Amino acid sequence: MNTILQAINEVQEATLMAGRAFRSAFTKPHYLRETIQQMDTIGVGSLMIIVLTGAFTGSILALQTSNTLKTFGATGVVGQLVMTSLVREMGPVLASLMLTGRVGSSIAAELGSMVVSEQVDAMRALGTDPIKKLVWPRLIALLVMTPALTLLADIVGAIGGWLVATGLMNVSSSVYISSAKNALTYSDIVGGIMKPLVFGFIIAVVSCRAGLRTSGGTVGVGRSTTQAVVLSDILILASDFFLGKLILAFSS
């Protein structure tokens, strides 16, 4: 029973923190420099891992389905298979999971270190709102950069699939490109944007909340970092299912 009450309390506190962060966006100071710095750290700093993730995901999708498609004489639809898989599921989910491991853990560790070293208390003593200065820049940076990085992963994944399809499966380049272009529907594009927005929100809120409630010194920082990554991953996978059902319901 205590575990359930604690979970409900954490959900309430995280919701209140997110609400305060959005409300603080309409008041000065806006901490624009911190926001841009977070976008640079999250976006530019994650480019390499997102590019590699997208490239190998698209390549593996094309490679693993080649034998099955050859059996049915349908190698011409490999572009459709790669593109729909990337845009609907693999791109948003894998990009967000990579961001959780790299960015979410970093946020939780950074904020946790500031809490145990009493830097957050010093901010409050000086009249600075920690939610506005620490949470809001990270929240808005993840809301902007997660969809952008997901789009990059989709594009690079499509290129990786094209390289495998044309190089190993002897699929015509024009056939692959035409199949990939015709595969996408309006609901796929909407879902491909909405999912990373939700996932970015989850990473930001869970990681910031885990960092700001850190206790127990350096051991607590490690514990908060682990909790942020694990909980973010679980919530991303769970919300992906419900978002998928919602998108299918509206598109049918």
69-84: pLDDT as tens digits: 777 777 778 888 889 9
Q: Work out the pLDDT band at 136, boundaries 50, 70, 90.
A: very high
pLDDT at position 184 over 90: no
Q: What integer pLDDT is reported at residue 127 of this predicted model? A: 82
CA angle 209, 213, 215 (to 5 degrees): 150
Exposure of 160 by Cβ count < 10 A (0-12 exposed, 13-18 middle, 19+ buried)?
A: buried
d(CA 84, CA 181): 10
**Is the omega angle on the peptide bond into residue 196 within 30 degrees of 0, that is, cis?**
no
CB neighbour class for 44 (10 Å; exposed up to 12, middle 13-18, buried from 19): exposed
Q: Using the 8-state DSSP alphabet, how is residue 104 labeled?
A: I
| Tens digit of each residue's pLDDT (9 = 90 or more) over 207-238 | 999 999 988 888 889 899 999 999 999 999 99
| Residue 1: pLDDT band with limits 50, 70, 90 | low
| DSSP code, position 27 | S
Note the pLDDT tens digit of each residue in 107-127.
999 999 999 988 988 988 888
In which band, very low, low, confident or very high, does the pLDDT at 172 lie, cut at 50, 70 and 90? confident
Q: 182 pLDDT band (50/70/90 cuts)?
A: confident
Residues 164, 126: Cα–Cα separation, whole Å: 58
Domain coordinates of the chain in residue numbers? 31-251
Kindly report whether the global pTM for this prediction surpasses the value 0.85. yes
Tell me the C-alpha distance between 161 and 241, whole Å: 25
